[in-house]
Amino acid sequence: MFSTLEKVKRLEQYLAVDNSTVDPVLDTTIDKLLAREQARIVELKTRLQEQCALFEQNYTLSSEDFYKQYQAGQMGDETDYVEWAATIEMLANLDKRLAS
């Protein structure tokens, strides 16, 4: 079984040979897969933003201010803080994926 990266490399090699002979169904399928993945990421991002909003409400602190303090070691290592920081980091990673 190939990893996703290996599959993408194989597809890239296939397309590099002669782009004019690529089946339009393949092109449409790739577009649909990318759109599906983007929708999945957007839905996940919404859920993570909702989690951050709950933390912000519970601790009356913005996620941005919390994360600065957390990174500076000023917040401690309570379970909520670790989860909140992880949620913020996951959001940042999703933003990177959506930007590419």
| Structural domain includes residue 59 | yes
| Structural domain includes residue 77 | yes
| Structural domain includes residue 2 | no
In this prediction the pTM is: 0.77
Question: What span, in angstroms and rounded, lies between the C-alpha atoms of 35 and 44?
Answer: 14
Residue range 43-53, pLDDT digits in tens:
999 999 999 99
Residue range 19-41, pLDDT digits in tens:
777 788 888 888 898 899 899 99
Burial grade of 87 (CB within 10 A; 0-12, 13-18, 19 or more) = buried
Question: What span, in angstroms and rounded, lies between the C-alpha atoms of 99 and 20?
Answer: 28
| Structural domain includes residue 14 | no
pLDDT for 49: 98
- CB 51 within 8 Å of CB 89: no
How many separate domains does the chain show? 1
| Structural domain includes residue 15 | no
| pLDDT surpasses 90 at 4 | no
Residue 78 belongs to what domain range? 23-99
| Structural domain includes residue 18 | no
| Structural domain includes residue 90 | yes
| pLDDT surpasses 80 at 98 | yes
Looking from the CA of 34 toward its CB, the CA atoms found within 13 Å total: 11
